[in-house]
Structure 1
Amino acid sequence: MTIQEETIPQTPARPWLPAAMAAFSGFLVVGLLFLLWFGLQQKEIAGTKVVNVPFTKAPDFSLGLFDGSTFILSDALNTGKPIVVNFWASWCGPCADEAPVIQDAFRRTGDKFIFVGIDVQDTDADAQAFMRKYGLTYLNGSGNAGPISVQYGMRGVPETYFIAPDGRLIRKWNTLTAADLEQFLGELQRASGARPG
């Protein structure tokens, strides 16, 4: 009886394996660096005045309001008052948190500022129900039909733009708290040459 040698198939050489591992490692490092950069950009958006906005002077727009009148930014700037433009939607949870904060500031500041809300990606019926629910009495209209959100580089809702009477964008912010809004209205008044208070 002879013992047959069993042949074990040899694994073919993979000369490309080190290069593939190096390339994969490179992609991983680049991906991590991108995530770190993106995180810092998001931190900047939340922490500085104006970041990732395609303009420094607010683009003019015309907005049909729910009360049947029309708001034109350039006309409002001619009043010499600072303007607060808020993009919102009835289905947006943070917008619901923010709406009473903006309404309260509008009520407290009287005619020192012009507040205007722009409802987007919504139906007029849902928007008006939202306004009734939160008692919104400042100017509001539908931005569904126009390019306003594109002009302003809107990334999502809510977003608020603080505009000086000379048309300069002073600040862009996402979700506002009462403390945020108080601080930013003060900044806006100072930038507008108006006395805070």
Structure 2
Amino acid sequence: MMIDLHTLASPTLKSTSEVHYLQSNDWEISLKGYNGFQDTQLLDFEGEVIFINFWGTWCGPCVSEMPSLQKLYKAKGKEMKFAFIAMQDKPEKINSFIRKTGYTMPIYEVNAKFSSEIHPKAYPTTYILNRKGEMVLFERGAADWNAPDVHHLLEKLIAE
């Protein structure tokens, strides 16, 4: 089932008094780069504002939110780090998806097992982290990531 992008709501940007930090082993995610991006580790992004999206080419809601993610990446990709992590996919499916869509965002695949604390329980799952490694947003499910409130949140985090 495909979800129409026009029906996607903005992510829930609710404030929380509970601050979640990534623990040292949460940062230990080895990533294989696609779409012209080099292999890296999430640890290389530490100290930056980071947008992490776990998705799959097989996941209808994941694919439905991709146009808004591409727009967000195009607008903010030079100011912060993005990692679109394909899960439970084969390299040929990922490459085919990239060729078919023409997306330019940094797509990765996990190279090894990683912490169950950050491992998604459903797809898509998105995390936004500030420069201190605090998780300021956690969203499970498809959303319109190019919404004005998302841009406002990211601009605030980038300025900190």
Give the alignment's TM-score, normalised by structure 2: 0.75
Matched, 1:169 2:135: yes
Give the one of 90, 93, 107 matched to 1:123. Answer: 90
Structure (1/2) with the larger strand percentage: 2
CA apart distance, 1:179: 5.2
Please list every run of at least 4 consecutive aligned residues from structure 1 whose deviation after the TM superposition is greater than 4 angstroms.
Answer: none
Query: In 2, Cα distance between the equivalents of 1:56 and 1:131?
Result: 32
Task: Give the equivalent residue in structure 1 for 2:44.
Answer: 75
Going from structure 1 to structure 2, the CA distance change for 1:47 and 1:116 (only over 3 Å counts) comes to: closer
Higher relative contact order (CA 8 A, sep 6+): 2
Structure ranking higher in helix proportion: 1
Q: In the alignment, does 2:50 pair up with 1:86?
A: no
Deviation at residue 178 of structure 1 after TM alignment: 4.1
CA distance, structure 2, for counterparts of residue 193 and residue 105 of structure 1: 14
- RMSD, aligned α-carbons: 2.8
1:187: how far off? Answer: 1.9
* Partner of residue 32, structure 2: 64
The answer on whether the counterparts of 1:119 and 1:141 sit within 8 Å (CA) in structure 2 is yes
Residue identity matched to 1:89: G
Does the Cα contact within 8 Å between 1:103 and 1:135 map onto a contact in 2? no
Matches within 5 A, 1:1-40: none
* Matching residue of 2:118: 152
Q: How high is the sequence identity, in percent, across the aligned residues?
A: 23
Quote how far apart the aligned CAs of 1:47 are: 6.7
What amino acid does structure 2 have at the position aligned with 1:56?
H
List alignment gaps of at least 5 residues for structure 2.
1-10
Q: Distance in 1 between matches of 2:98 and 2:115?
A: 20
Secondary structure at the counterpart of residue 97 of structure 1? helix
| Number of aligned residue pairs | 144
SS in 1 for 2:75: helix
In structure 1, the residue corresponding to 2:112 is in which secondary structure? coil
TM superposition score normalised by structure 1: 0.62
CA distance in 1, matches of 2:30, 2:96: 23
